[in-house]
Amino acid sequence: MYEEPATARLVEAFANTVDVELGTDDLSTPEQLTDWLVGQHLLARPHRADADDLALALRLRGGLRERLGVPVGDRPAAALLADADSALRELPLLATVGGAPPAVQPTVTADAGPTEGVEPTRGAGLDTTDGASVEPAAPEAAPVGGAGAGLVLVPAPGLPPVRRGLAGVAVAWSELVLAGDAARLKRCAEHECAWVFWDVSKNRSRRWCSMRVCGNRNKARRFAAKRAVAPSPTTRPN
């Protein structure tokens, strides 16, 4: 079994704040975004999200959900990926050489790679290759490049508290990409469901969040479609 890391659990929770099947959205208001960030230990009260923070979070979530459909064969909407990449540029990350960043650092949005030096950088982008982004083992910091690599990825100093919390999601996504695990986090191929799940199969072949529910639902639909187009058997005259 391939155990789901904390980074994947955070990205999964963020993506699943919208429930396609039930038609609900747990990030409908700035107050709900605040509650979610606090619940994930990415923000401390009394800090509160505003409308701009919510718009940024929704752009990031929309692109992530599109990207997570790629491993099951869905073709993502380029505009949603671009919106999420734009959101990531507003959530710069910093690669340090072994711990918390300096107390005071300017926020920089350079596009340097997340494993290069100690310059602030954006989170890993949402292209449709098998790449992804990083999340911290704790939301405040995550090792870059595997254990013992000596680099830690953190939200860039200078970000306001809510943006720093959202940058924790970017850190988590980037860590999944760098670790080569992003392809295990998928959006259910049953579009009426579209729930994000972690694929524990050895060859990363799972397509549905639940084979018993969504997998069987998909198979039943395909079977019905085949029967609908199958030619009727001819009967011989008496």
Q: Is 27 strand, coil or helix?
A: coil
In whole numbers, what is the pLDDT of the chain averaged over residues?
Answer: 80
* Mean pLDDT, residues 103-128: 43
Name which of 10-24, 128-142, 178-192, 200-214 the model is least confident about: 128-142
CA angle 72–81–119, rounded 5-degree value: 115
Record the pTM: 0.77
Query: Over the stretch 34-69, which tens digit does the pLDDT of each residue have?
Result: 999 999 999 999 999 999 999 999 999 999 999 999
Does residue 170 contact residue 91 with C-beta atoms inside 8 Å? yes
* Mean pLDDT, residues 222-235: 54
Nearest alpha carbon to residue 177 among 134, 126, 222: 134
Query: Over the stretch 1-32, which tens digit does the pLDDT of each residue have?
Result: 689 999 999 999 999 999 999 999 999 999 99
Predicted local confidence at residue 204, as pLDDT: 87
> Which one has a higher pLDDT value, 112 or 160?
160
Distance of CA 219 to the CA centre of its chain: 27
Predicted local confidence at residue 145, as pLDDT: 58
Name which of 98-102, 161-165, 205-209, 214-218 the model is least confident about: 98-102
